[in-house]
Structure 1
Amino acid sequence: MEPYRIRPARLADLPLLPAIERAASELFRQTAYAHLVGSDDATRSFPHQPDYLTWVAVDATDAPVGLAIARPLANSLHLQELDVHPNHSRRGLGRRLIAAVADYAQSQGYTALTLTTFRSISWNAPYYTRLGFRALETDELPTDLQAIYQSEIEHGLPMGDRVCMRRELIEDA
């Protein structure tokens, strides 16, 4: 049996997710953004918002070890958060979580996935680029994505290195 699987989060999973997010944010201690570790911005996705959709990567005991949180926008599903506990990283769980979000988005008629992330951190924009996302120019941002970007500015995220990204979802022929 495969040691990990991806599934929609259950209500009982939700209290466990902040610990995964906090553990994953510890990786930022090795970057120019170490000051964000332990800040309110490190756990801005919680508590769970009612219109957000959450998937978890679970281990063989069905315990969550990773998460993806998405929220609907006008024509896209926005990946609000993606975290894998460092004890379970480098096993393809992030890629599998994104695939689950993309499959759901496509099944619901969304045309794209979007996200915001740090441009210069290897497990951020360069990683998402390898998974088919592309950086958007400011004039390409739809209104709802502009609002998310503005909210990040208001929460004090360092915007000089932030980027909005988009991955088109293509119907299989």
Structure 2
Amino acid sequence: MAETTDHDTFADAVREGRLWVALSGNRPVGFALVKMIGSGLPHLEEIDVDPPHGRRGLGTALVRTVCDWAAASGSATLTLTTFRAVPWNLPFYARLGFVEVPFSTLSPELAAIVAEEAHRGLDPATRAVMAYQCGQPLPVSTR
């Protein structure tokens, strides 16, 4: 399933300070996009690094930046959803301090995200909801 994020979503995120871009020279090679799912409830909606620039720490730097931003913004938790079985997804976030949130304990906002993903064709059984407790120290090394 090919999806793209629309221009207005990016423009709103830039205006509201919820988009971070990794550059190689002047060329964008990655980004992290946060969606506010409620008052003080940031959700890492999307993160992407151009594959030729992968495995260089850009994704880690983007996630760490978002975690720092969420903590500085006064948020208690930063959430995300990811594929459960893709080897570089759930373990990557776990190494950065995210923990899985059982579906039975999801807030209404997170349950709505899972439902929206299901509506787009993503089987909830293949997905994991994860949360980072803002303010906790980020691990020094992820490899």
Give the TM-score of the pair, scaled to structure 1: 0.70
Query: What percentage of aligned pairs have identical amino acids?
Result: 37
User: Aligned match of 1:125 in 90, 96, 121?
Assistant: 90
Q: CA deviation at 1:171?
A: 6.2
Distance 1:160 1:108, change over 3 A: same
Runs (5+) with no aligned partner, structure 2: 138-143
CA-based RMSD:
1.7
Asked if residue 88 in structure 1 is aligned to residue 53 in structure 2, the reply is yes
DSSP-derived class of the 2:79 partner: strand
Letter in 1 for 2:29: V
Q: State how far apart, in whole Å, the 1-side matches of 2:127 and 2:8 are.
A: 23
Runs (5+) with no aligned partner, structure 1: 1-35
Q: State how far apart, in whole Å, the 1-side matches of 2:115 and 2:95 are.
A: 26
What is residue 76 of structure 1 aligned with on the other side? 41
Letter in 2 for 1:47: H
Segments ≥4 residues shifted beyond 6 Å: none
Letter in 2 for 1:76: L
Q: CA deviation at 1:107?
A: 1.1
Asked if residue 112 in structure 1 is aligned to residue 77 in structure 2, the reply is yes
Give the TM-score of the pair, scaled to structure 2: 0.84
Asked if residue 155 in structure 1 is aligned to residue 115 in structure 2, the reply is no
Distance 1:57 1:169, change over 3 A: same
- Matches for 1:35-74 after TM superposition, within 5 Å: 36=1, 39=2, 42-43=3-4, 45-49=5-9, 50=12, 53-59=18-24, 61-74=25-38
Q: State how far apart, in whole Å, the 2-side matches of 1:126 and 1:48 are.
A: 32
User: Aligned match of 1:168 in 130, 133, 136?
Assistant: 133
Q: Which protein is bigger by CA-based radius of gyration?
A: 1
DSSP-derived class of the 2:7 partner: coil
